[in-house]
């Protein structure tokens, strides 16, 4: 438990400090003074160093960090953020997310270079059971493995679709944990859009893996493609859910409690297998997701501040005090959302995605 808490603190701090380092580096490059770069959150314990007009401080809450820029909200202060050009302010704001993407790329590279899990045996797994569907009525559950359909082995999702005949009973052999079940289900003739005749979403799921290590150049290419895929899926997920191509459960919020549980699962897997992939992969995914989330056009986020820059570029700069008040309201709203998601995580714990220990046996 103590190791998991410590690992969560390290992972969270790495993500936040990378983000803040991006802001600080971009500010310096644009001639904006960085007043303070803090490790942890106040109250301040001590000043670690003074360099280039910046205080490097150690703070009492040992997680995360922050950056203070000169003149953040006052456009009358020379050398300050608010007085800088539109281009400079945009660069500083977007640099935090770019640094998180860079971190995600580095971690993804390490995953492929140090050992990526490649499946050597896969099964067809039920990822989602739609409500009020034949599958739900037959008792099928998320996580069930489909072994056969009418006695014929199902090796991939398309195999299952080939055996479905609308209105004709279909007998499935299901593996649920260590139990083998036989289930008869009658496919619908006119299913709702995106649900299919059975009312299930199935995917190929690895049941046994091997560790494949790639040379550096290939690890870089695969790592970059992997992070691009994560970002694209994060952006496209709401549209895919609305189009009923993905279940709405993929959009479930995950708060600090859920993130701590995910980190705990990855930490346990890494310690048990002696393989850093689960923890590196999760941290890279979180870093890429943070980059996208932080650019959403919401007050208090960098994306919300960029929205104000867009208004200024169109000829209407919002009064700094009014903008500051809007961001404060946005921050209060986000804190409320985080509190609600933490409660949701407690009521509906985040499920374990993979049992790495079992898969690598």
On whether residue 54 sits in a domain, the answer given is no
- Please name the helix (run of DSSP H) or strand (run of DSSP E) that holds residue 173, with its range, or none: strand 170-176
Same domain, 258 and 310: yes
Same domain, 350 and 227: yes
On whether residue 8 sits in a domain, the answer given is no
Same domain, 136 and 221: no
On whether residue 129 sits in a domain, the answer given is yes
For residue 183, pLDDT beyond 80: yes
Inter-residue contact 251 to 241 (CB < 8 Å): yes
For residue 1, pLDDT beyond 70: no
Non-local (6+) Cβ contacts of 17 within 8 A are: 39, 64, 65
On whether residue 1 sits in a domain, the answer given is no
Non-local (6+) Cβ contacts of 298 within 8 A are: 304, 330, 334
How many folded domains does the chain comprise? 2
Q: Note the pTM of the prediction, 2 decimals.
A: 0.83
CATH number (domain holding residue 185): 2.30.42.10
DSSP 185: E
On whether residue 5 sits in a domain, the answer given is no
On whether residue 358 sits in a domain, the answer given is yes
Same domain, 164 and 182: yes
Same domain, 206 and 218: no
Report the chain's mean pLDDT, rounded to a whole number: 87
Decide which of 212, 231, 258 is a domain's last residue. Answer: 212
pLDDT by residue (tens digit) across 246-269?
A: 667 667 778 888 888 888 888 888
On whether residue 45 sits in a domain, the answer given is no
Helices (H), the chain: 2-29, 86-114, 134-138, 157-163, 216-242, 256-273, 277-294, 302-313, 320-347, 356-359
- Least Cα distance to 222 among 59, 113, 310, 137 occurs for 113
Tell me which residue range forms the domain holding 206: 119-212
Distance CA(134)–CA(191), nearest Å, equals 10
Inter-residue contact 266 to 279 (CB < 8 Å): yes
């Amino acid at each position: 438990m103590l190791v998991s808490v410590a690992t969560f603190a390290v992972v969270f701090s790495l993500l936040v400090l990378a983000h803040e380092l991006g802001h600080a580096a971009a500010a310096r490059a644009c001639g904006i003074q960085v007043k303070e770069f803090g490790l942890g959150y106040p109250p301040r314990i001590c000043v670690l160093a003074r360099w280039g007009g910046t205080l490097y401080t150690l703070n009492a809450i040992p997680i995360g960090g922050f950056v203070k820029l000169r003149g953040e909200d006052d456009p009358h202060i020379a050398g300050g953020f608010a007085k800088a050009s539109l281009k400079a302010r945009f660069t500083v704001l977007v640099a935090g997310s770019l640094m998180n993407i860079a971190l995600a790329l580095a971690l993804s590279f390490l995953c492929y270079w140090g050992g990526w899990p490649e499946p050597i045996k896969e099964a067809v797994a039920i990822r989602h059971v739609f409500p009020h569907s034949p599958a739900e009525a037959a008792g099928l559950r998320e996580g069930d493995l489909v072994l056969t359909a009418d006695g014929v082995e199902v090796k991939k999702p398309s195999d299952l679709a080939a055996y479905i005949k609308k209105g004709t009973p279909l007998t499935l052999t299901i593996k649920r944990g260590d139990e083998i079940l036989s289930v008869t289900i009658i496919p619908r003739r006119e299913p709702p859009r995106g649900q299919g005749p059975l009312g299930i979403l199935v995917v190929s799921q690895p049941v046994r893996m091997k560790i494949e290590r790639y040379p550096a150049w290939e690890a870089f290419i695969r790592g970059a493609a992997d992070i691009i895929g994560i970002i694209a899926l994060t952006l496209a997920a709401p549209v895919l859910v609305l189009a009923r191509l993905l279940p709405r459960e993929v959009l479930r919020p995950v708060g600090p409690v859920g993130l701590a549980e995910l980190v705990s699962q990855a930490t346990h897997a890494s310690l048990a297998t002696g393989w850093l992939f689960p923890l590196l992969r999760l941290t890279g995914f979180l870093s890429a997701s943070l980059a996208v989330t932080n650019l959403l056009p919401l007050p208090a986020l960098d994306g919300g501040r960029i929205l104000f820059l867009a208004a200024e570029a169109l000829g209407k700069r919002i009064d700094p005090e009014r903008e500051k008040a809007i961001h404060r309201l946005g921050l209060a709203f986000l804190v409320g959302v985080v509190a609600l998601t933490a409660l949701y995580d407690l009521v509906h714990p985040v499920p374990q995605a993979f049992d790495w220990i079992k898969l690598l046996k």
